[in-house]
Amino acid sequence: MKNKILVILSLLCFYISPSQSRTCGTEEHMEEKMKDPVFVQEWKSNQAKFNKVFETSRNKRQSSMNTIIVPVAVHFTQANESDRACLEALAQNQIDILNADFTATNEDAGLWDAASVFYPNTEHGSADVVFCIATENHPVGIDNELIEGNPAVTIGYNFGNGNNVDGNWSGYLNFVIRNIGALGFSPLGGSIAQGSAVTMDDQAFGSGSGCPGSGVVPGAPYNLGRTTTHELGHFFNLYHIWGDGGCGVDDGISDTPLASGSNGGCPGPGDIPGCVSGEYELSMNYMDYTNDACMYMFSQGQMDVAEAYLTAVQNDFKPNTTSNCAGSTEPNFNLTALNSPVFSCPETGEDAVFEIDFSTINDYNVTTFISAEGAPENSTISITPTFINSNGTITMTIGNLVNTTQGDYTITLTASSFVSTKTIDVVLKNNCTSIECNEIYSGDNVGLEIPDGIGNNEYGDAVTSAITFPDLGVISSLTANVDVSHTYIQDLVVVLYHPDDTTYAILWGRDCGSEDGFDVTFSDDASAIQCANPTVGTYAPYEPLSIFEGMTSEGEWTLLIQDGYNEDVGVLNDWSIEICSEVALGTDKNNFNSKNVLVYPNPNNGAFNIEFNSFNDSDVNISVFDILGREILKNNFSYNTIHFNQSIDLKNVKPGTYLMTISTNNAKVVKKIIVE
């Protein structure tokens, strides 16, 4: 358990107060990342592509380069879903600033005219680039509010499990906004292919009044969005103007004067002598440390680097994301699957029915034809309607599934008109299975006291509670409920560990503030936590529970709680886990499966019968578990007849819900038993 505690403490080391002076964590970030051999390999590959492009274009402008449209995604990891409208507007505000700064169309760009006399060898630069918040072809399963046609802005999504790389967002330029204790950081030459991110503090993103309801409020003197411009410069392979070394270190840009170090505040043009006699430091450059109001330009040499980077990585950008980006007035449409996957079974022959939402954008009203492919061989596809030109639901029925081959099928539905063509994939699980869910509960009044923290961000001892699950198959989804009484709930970290004692997800990561107590069901499909007094409801966890998908359910699951601040204490009242697994679907009345195993009476007084038919001649093993996961009964029966009928008596058990597993040599069934 000590190892678990150390892991959590290392994960939460960023809970510190923001700095009051400009800071950039890129240098320290790169030192840490260069210890990762996977990162190093990808970084070297990207740098080789960049260097090849840059060498080709050295000493000349890339005037023939087509404008590169960069799909952007913005992730407010600690914000509130109720602030979505404000946060989406703030994200667009920051993108507008970037577009102006990188194309030299910012309102204060004209200040260069007077300043340029001090910098005769420097040209005010611009890049041929458009940053655009993606509105189409969004990743699925990320955020319920991430709707096709709306901007790619996530709220409460734990990007990369707290890291700055997330494969779900490969192909985008990602911005992650959270409280980090510095103004921002970025990889030096970020990987679009890997889903790298520029990470910004929630006090240094965008301009204006921000979104106070989520704590995302630009703070002076870094409240004009220029810190994001600075960090994006690093992402595009730009160093600080002093080369992170001083007069003896060049930043690699031919038209920026050598600088001795960073400049803060708001110096005037020509105020700071450079390293070379007669030169002056370029303090108004975005890659210095001056206040937002006093930086307003890139040099053309810097923009040549940025354009070379964009040219090198442009094939890594995810396609079909920005034709209807934020602010577009072009008419178009979007497709969204309302149910996928759909389960089917050749032995039953029942049709599989999918529903797809067709939604129009900007008064789109063009006749659009619908088709599909990818269904099992010998099956049929029926689509209603076959053409559409307004908002509505498309129904796709996969029929004639009798005697088709079992397996998972990806079916592609295409909607096509002379204006636009789009596709969407849905999944048919034609393998005679279904999803079955079972919950195990810790029991009422666990009453475990949570030791107080020992100081500001100094954690007290961990308290743990365990639930034992039987083998319910491979996990397809999981939810967890935790009920805690505690004053000032922001003190707490709550972590769920898989029985392997290695895999974990942080459920509660010092969320909310001075509120007292929470009773929360954590589900990946839910919205961000809405803090209240107490906080009650179904919300997304700090880290996604999908990390457990594909793993076995069997064994002892551990809940760990730690308090990271002194003065407030509380108790763990109770908790539970619900695990859903894909299990065999019954078809034949003689098959051994959940559908055809009868348990009666149920509810009962502890005595009941189990009955089923099967041609399986193996022994039958029966185990019953209480809500704590403890095995309270285990029996083995010799099965030498087609018809199995056996009486079970749990003998003086308390009223409640129990789980019973019935297994043969090649199948297992789980049944809930309710004792009254």
Q: Residue 490: what are its φ and ψ, rounded to 5°?
A: -65, -15
187-217 per-residue burial string, b: 16 or more CB within 10 A, e: under 16 = bbbbbbbbbbbbbbbbbbbbbeebbeebbbb
Q: Residue 356: what are its φ and ψ, rounded to 5°?
A: -125, 130
Residue 72 Cα distances to 88, 176, 237, 318, 581, angstroms? 12, 11, 18, 10, 35
Other Cβ atoms within 10 Å of 432 Cβ, number: 18
The string of DSSP letters for 56-117 reads HHTTS--TTPPPEEEEEEEEETT--GGGHHHHHHHHHHHHHHHHHHHTT-STTGGGHHHHGG
Q: Does residue 231 have an active-site annotation?
A: yes
Sheet holding 598-600, edge to edge: 598-600, 607-613, 643-649
| Measured distance CA(557)–CA(495) in Å, rounded | 11
Q: Residue 125: what are its φ and ψ, rounded to 5°?
A: -105, 160
Paired strand residues for 558: 466, 497
Q: At what angle do helices 226-235 and 84-102 cross, to 10 degrees?
A: 70
| Measured distance CA(250)–CA(244) in Å, rounded | 9
Q: Tell me the two tokens of residue 655.
A: 């009223």
Instruction: Evaluate whether 194 touches 165 at the Cβ level (below 8 Å).
Output: yes
- Find the catalytic residue in 231, 279, 281, 543: 231
Other Cβ atoms within 10 Å of 376 Cβ, number: 21
Instruction: Evaluate whether 12 touches 494 at the Cβ level (below 8 Å).
Output: no
Residue 375 DSSP symbol: P
Is residue 630 exposed (0-12), middle (13-18) or buried (19+ Cβ within 10 Å)? Answer: exposed
Q: Could you tell me which residues come within 8 angstroms of residue 536 by beta carbon, excluding any fewer than 6 positions away?
A: 518, 519, 520
Tallying the residues shown for the chain, one arrives at 676
Q: Is the dihedral of CA 73, 74, 80, 84 positive or negative?
A: negative
Cα Rg of the chain (Å, integer):
30
Three-state DSSP state, 155:
strand
105-136 per-residue burial string, b: 16 or more CB within 10 A, e: under 16 = ebeebebbeebeebbeebbbbbbbbbbbbbbb
| Measured distance CA(545)–CA(496) in Å, rounded | 9
Sheet holding 463-469, edge to edge: 463-469, 555-563, 492-497, 504-509
| Measured distance CA(241)–CA(260) in Å, rounded | 9
State the catalytic residues.
231
